[in-house]
Each structure stands twice: as structure tokens, then as C-alpha cells.
Homo-oligomer: A and B are copies of this chain.
């Protein structure tokens, strides 16, 4: 899970929890029916909006994009440079023994194709298709988070309306108006916190993450194709660095 997300989530929940605890009793903020109506309503609307496949895929996308740690660019360049040297010296078959150490399935798949002696064009076509699948899944995920980020406050408001109407209808003792109003407002609070603390920022993160993951994948493809063409370590290093996005190239330069 990327560090900024962890920091942000912990800090955000810490702050809101502190604000609640400082005000006294936290129990009023824990209301199962209110959670059900906001989160349940949001999920129901998401099922109506998207197809079943898209909804079920979102968990996988989240796990893959947020928990999965992208290989460090510099280490990746070095790794590919080593493969290029081995390929030059001992041929592609000698790379077989390195495959089991690779954790990244995308690189593993590409290297296996290379060892299997597949042609450069076949490798490029297959891996480009995989990158395209990845981007489609990311885009679906981003759209879904944005939709949920607009549905959560809407169901928060619906919950508050239900609470208000019930409270006002049976209003005979004005001294109880406060408690009823407090309960009614809980769903609005849930919806606002959920959308602004998690859903909308996560939609943004998915977009940024998608851009970065695509870039790393394209760098790997570039390196694999150079190795497949039998190019040497220096050429592989140069080709891969040219693919690093401008912002990161600057950081990489002095160190490589």
C-alpha cells in the first residue's frame, strides 16, 4: 500500500476520531442503521449503475493497484540491464533460472515469452494488450469511485430526510427534538466523511497510480524488446530511461 495513502488514511481517521472523542460521548456516532442506509444505498446504486462484472472486479483492482508495490524504477532498470548482459553472454535460455525470483507477474510473463523464443512482435503485441486491459480496469475503477463519492452524500441526505420526517411527525415533546435531529444528521455525517475522506481522494489516487503503473509497464516492455533484439546492457539502460516520465527522469539521472 503506498505510503501517502496510509499516512492520509491514518491521519484523517485519527483527526475525526479525536474530534468526536473531545466532544464527549462517541456512542452517538456509532449507529448501525445509519451505516446500513449510507453504505448499503451507495452499493445498491453502484450495482444499478455498473455491470455485475465491473462491480466484482473493483475489489481486485483496488488490491492490485493500492496494495501491490510497484518495483522501484532504478532497481528495475538494473535488473533488466543484468538480463541483457546474461542474454548477450549465455543466450536467452540462461535467463530461465532467474524467472523464479521475479515477483512481478507482468515481467515474468514477458521474460518467459522471450526465453520461449517468441518473436519481438508477438511479445510486444501481447504485453501491449495486457497494458490496455490494465488501463481499462483502472478507468472503470476510477469512474466507480467517483460515482460512489457522489452517491454516498446523496444517501446520507436521504437518511437524514427519513429521520427528520419521522422525528417531526411524532413531535409532541419539544425537548426531544435535539436527540432526534442528532440521529437524523448522523447519515449526512457518514456520507460526507465517506466521500471526502475515502472515495473522492481514492478516485484521484487510482488515476495517478494508473499513469505511473502504465509507465513502469511500458519501460519493462521497452527493455524486454531490446533484449529480444539482442541489444547490449548499455542500449537497454538508455532505452528504458528514455521511457521514464520527465518528472522521474530528473531524479534518476544523477544516480544511474
Using CB atoms and an 8 Å cutoff, list the residues of chain A in contact with chain B. 2-5, 7-9, 11-12, 15-16, 18-20, 22-25, 28-29, 33, 36-37, 40-41, 43-52, 54-55, 129, 132-133, 136-137, 147, 151, 154-155, 157-159, 161-172, 175, 178-179, 181-182, 185-186, 188-189, 192-193, 195-198, 200-202, 204-205, 208-209, 212, 246-247, 249-250
Bound: A45/B55 CA distance, A: 24
Bound: A172/B174 CA distance, A: 11
Neighbour of A44 across the interface among B3, B197, B246, CB < 8 A = B197
Q: Are A165 and B192 in contact (CB under 8 A)?
A: no
Q: Are A4 and B52 in contact (CB under 8 A)?
A: yes
Neighbour of A47 across the interface among B8, B132, B193, CB < 8 A = B8
Q: Are B179 and A168 in contact (CB under 8 A)?
A: yes
Bound: A171/B175 CA distance, A: 8
Q: Are B44 and A11 in contact (CB under 8 A)?
A: yes
Neighbour of A201 across the interface among B48, B167, B198, CB < 8 A = B48
* Chain B nearest CB, measured from A2 CB (Å): 7
Q: Are A37 and B15 in contact (CB under 8 A)?
A: yes
Bound: A46/B19 CA distance, A: 19
